[in-house]
Chains A and B, each alone.
Chain A
Amino acid sequence: MTARDQQFFALYRQHRVEDQRGFYDGRRREFRAAQDESVWLVAVLEEKTRNGI
């Protein structure tokens, strides 16, 4: 394998594969957190509404 190939593969792994993985992992965590928050928010609003705020 030439030096060029080695540099390309290292670059590809870090800035293509890991970059994409990091992006989707971040989104997954964020959406899961947002989903949890929306469940809490709905529960609090329902409770407040039931008790006349």
Chain B
Amino acid sequence: MTLAMNVVQVLLLILMAPLVRGVIARLKARIQNRRGASVWRPYSDLLKLFRKEDLVPPSASFVFRLAPIVVFTATLVVAAFVPLLHGSALLNATGDFVLLVYLLALGRFFLMLGAMDGGSSFGGMGASREALVSTLAEAPFLLALTSVAIAAHTSSIAEMVRWTMGQNFFQFSAVHALAFVAIALVAIAETGRMPVDNPTTHLELTMIHEAMVLEYSGPSLALMEWASAIKLTVVMALLIALFAPWGMAGSLSPLAIAIASLVLLLKMTALVAALALVESSVAKLRMYLVPDFLGVASALAILAVVFTALMR
């Protein structure tokens, strides 16, 4: 039963991901006084792309077509780490946070390689910038997760979540506040959102993630787009699970699950709304200001780790 529930969680994360994107786009459109496309639009985009043919540059090697598959698979495995509706995940006790960070790195590494295989300048440009952003994002991400792990005395994501569920909201420590802000900042960089990267840009010179998938088309592009949607949803789910897991089902009764689903919907909506608001009101940072942005995240993460020792 628990296993079935955990599988459902992973499927939910994967299938819900395009919707989250659609809702963000729609909300942004509303904030900017446009009508915007339907929230189901990303699904039809994916369907359309899957039916098309793959256009491959003649100079490209097998890495070009392997990269989207590796990116998608790595993201899918990451989805198995995160509790969604109850305090458990498919990779439960062994769902280690270092493994999570490095699986994301695996996907990113192949994303960069695929970009450089196109043989145009934009792929290299995107990869080079992604290398800068992801390099500086990895350390604060890992340190912030470390601080939460230290507080919960475990390295498994699911066990951290269960520990947090057992805590009283008002006893929540400064460690978590610091780690939350750090991970939220990193998440913006990691998923390529404003103000680090503009996912809706049409100007190649300002692109990071979009420049890397510029040469992709058809099913390969669909895998890339879907993977980045899943990554966004998983990171949001991770933020919710680590820092506000209350409301998750304690037992597997239908009522508890129903309540958990409703609560999750509310939390997700809040996060999505916040993201749409930020993206509509903030200008993209100049690329060489991104290190400062991530520097703030690093400082907060370091403080979080120091506080774990101070507050025990």
Q: Specify whether A and B are partners.
A: no
